[in-house]
Amino acid sequence: MIAIGSDHGGFELKQTVMKYLQENGYEFRDFGCFTPDSVDYPDVALPLAQSIVSGEFKRGILLCGTGIGMSMVANKIPGVRAALCGDSYSAHMAVEHNNANILILGGRVVGPGLAISIVETYLKATFAEGRHRVRIDKITKIEKEYLRVKG
Ligand code: RB5
């Protein structure tokens, strides 16, 4: 089950991504926005990021105009490893090496064809473990030291 969300800047590309998910048998929940009207990206990024760290969803996809705002917000939440990707190689490596649990796309940056290729690559990639686990553990350690962890 995939969590997906966008602001107005990513709204149109999100429709394309959701169509791809639907046609390829992926289940997903849309965290909004639900119309092309202007919204603030933190209001979508936060609940989606929380649903990832709570374990409700294993993978998420966030879209805004550039992907930058969504990245900034999502990566503030301890346990989130959000990767803004503009190419398929990065999307693959974001999972294989960085165990990225959220993919971020810039709806005004990448076209629909490239976006689908990025999403497909991201969803099919697997984490390599080994030395990369050690590095992820170091990210977790930094989160614990520098961010106030709730609970
Ligand atoms: C909205 O105009 C735009 O600022 C937003 O979608 C995003 O690109 C922010 O990073």
For the stretch 37-90, pLDDT in tens is 999 999 999 999 999 999 999 999 999 999 999 999 999 999 999 999 999 999
Q: Which residues contact 131 (CB under 8 A, 6 or more apart)?
A: none
pLDDT by residue (tens digit) across 111-150? 999 999 999 999 999 999 999 999 999 999 999 998 765 6
Q: How far is the CA of 131 from the centre of ligand 1 (A)?
A: 35
Which CATH class for the 2-146 domain?
Answer: alpha beta
DSSP state of 73: H
Q: Half-sphere exposure of residue 4, counting CA atoms within 13 Å on the CB side?
A: 24
Choosing from 8, 92, 97, 132, the catalytic residue is: 97
| Residue 84 amino acid letter | L
**Helix (H), strand (E) at residue 2:** strand 2-6
Q: Active site includes 132?
A: no
Q: Return the domain boundaries, the chain.
A: 2-146
Q: Half-sphere exposure of residue 59, counting CA atoms within 13 Å on the CB side?
A: 24
Q: In the structure, which protein residues have their CB atom closer than 6 angstroms to any atom of ligand 1?
A: 7, 9, 41, 64-66, 68-69
The pTM score is 0.96
Q: How far is the CA of 66 from the centre of ligand 1 (A)?
A: 6
